[in-house]
Structure 1
Amino acid sequence: MDTQQNTALRRALAEVPGPLPTSGVIHIAIPHTDRFTIVGNHLAQHPDLSCTAVGIAVRIQSLPQGVEIGIKALAARCREGEKRIAAALRELEAFGYLQRVRDRLPSGRVITRTLFCNQPTALLRPRPTANPRPSAVTATLQAETPAPAPAPAPAEVSTSAPAPAPGPRMPEADLPEPDLPERPPVPPPSFVTPPPPLFVPLVPPPTAPKTPPPPLPQPDEPTPELDRAATALLGDLRCQAPELTLSEADIRQLTPGVAAWLERAAHPEAIRRTLTTDLPHPLRRPALLLKHRLTAHLPPPLPGAQALTAPTRPRITMTPFQTCDDCDRAFRSPTPGHCRDCREHHTHHTHRSEDARTAAA
């Protein structure tokens, strides 16, 4: 008797249509009759906007027209500080919900107007052109225009008078066309492709095609020994975890996956630990869980002996240092001798001596 029962809440839960979910939020939707604001899910569930920005946007939408929504004005209405409000306004401005434009008044003064759009994607889509309606001035002029007077009735013709002879009938092609009212010009069809939405929902629709699961791995060279070892390992899983009791059909279906693990030199104890660790409770479809683990956690094949050897570096031959016989300068050369300057000097003197002997001869 000391526990207080909320009868209104129990009555509201009883009116929720459909079965109640076992977990998660339960919505008790009571229709609003006054003081409410319509907020789109594109804003309430925006994946790139922070919760502060979404809350500031809802607060701005709930305010009447002409209310100041500057940083200081919103800080006076909300608990958030000016820095968080300024950051939220910048987020809303980046995604098109908020715009600040400069406008010049007739007096010449320039002011900043703050515009808030509750659905910015609708501004980017081409709007369909509606049929033009007659304006109020046109309707007034049509009402004031006097109606044409009815044609006078033809006088009664005496029966004794001869009837006038019918004249030649004008062909239809020569008849004057009646004055028809001008039709409004038909706008050309719009070929503008509607822009993509500002964000893509993270949860795909229930009608979206599902990606097929990857196939169970198969051994490259199946052998009777691999098949026998894989079958024994799967049958022994119920000794480690009773909920992994498999049927013969499930064991035959999963045997190639375990054989692929054994072919890649995986230890049976490592396979058993991968398949039996962190099992969900309750486990309703053990064969499907084992198929997923055998496929998702398949180890790569062992590398070969050549892949494990260290790469050989190319040998670089170093030319030794030599000492010049004339100037004792160090230079690199495979054999001793003279440096470059001394070789050029000897070559120059040799040429001069030959030229002198040639001139003397």
Structure 2
Amino acid sequence: MDTQHDNALAHALAAIPGPVPPSGVIHVVIPHTSRFTVVGNHLAQHAELSLVAIGVGVHIQSLPAGTEVGIKTLTARFPEGEVKIACALRELEAHGYLRRTRVRLTRGRVATRTVFCNQPGAVLRGGMVPVVGPAVRSAAPAPTLVREHIHHVPEPEPTAVPEAPHAPVRLPSRTAPTQRRRPLPRPQALTPELRQAASALLADLRRHAEELVLSEEAVEELVPGVAAWLERDATTDAIRRALTADLPQPLRHPARLLRHRLTALLPPPLPGVHDLAATRRAPVTPFQTCDGCERAFRSHDPGHCRDCRAQYWEAA
């Protein structure tokens, strides 16, 4: 398969008209006919946005209108954690691409409305009517789009970034899954001792399984999950066995696997001494032999049964 790909790429490079640059990237441009999104260079080559923010912005722009783009949904779709995704969304908000507002629904419910603008500079300059609709283009005739003015104007960009003369980047669209990932467990109190023990256990995993080589950032994100196990009196050997047993081959995302196991296999807290104590049985009244008729009856003191006591009372 690799040889076929190399041959196809060599033929494509040979078909490029004109001189080929001696260094740097060489573009092999094949026009799309369906399932593509037009992304401006002001976003794809933004000088102040991080690479994660640019990727999140391109992904949101490629989604159909109405798709969920919250932090939980994006974290379930991509290997980056909630912290990185949240920072990327804040970057997009700061540069005018994203706008999140709280709106009140019926029956007192509150929801977050997300508005993504593909050209914040054009909205600020005015003269263009924004269109609310899907960002994905197809070869079929486009349906009539509903035009609607956006009342919340994004904030202006701190500095204007000129567009490069290259053609806009066109990327295939993706649809975010609906399945949401469970949050990583956290201890009631993340003490310095728990943090140190959890960090050391995670960094030591590669001694027991060479596939589990974690970055410092991944260790920092997984520390609360291991601390929750330690807080529930799980031994370090038990945690290590749970995290290193039956690893899939090949293991492509060790941090994501460890996060899943720390969440799905979290043991319950150990029961207390009083919970394990045997339940006490109710005291049993012993049997006695009646002094009159010699029948057995229950009583704490010897004497006569109920029938004999009744006869004596009548005689008296």
State the TM-score bracket (shorter-chain normalisation): 0.3 to 0.5
Larger radius of gyration: 1
More relative contact order, 1 or 2 (CA 8 Å, 6+ apart): 2
TM-score, structure 1 length as denominator? 0.36
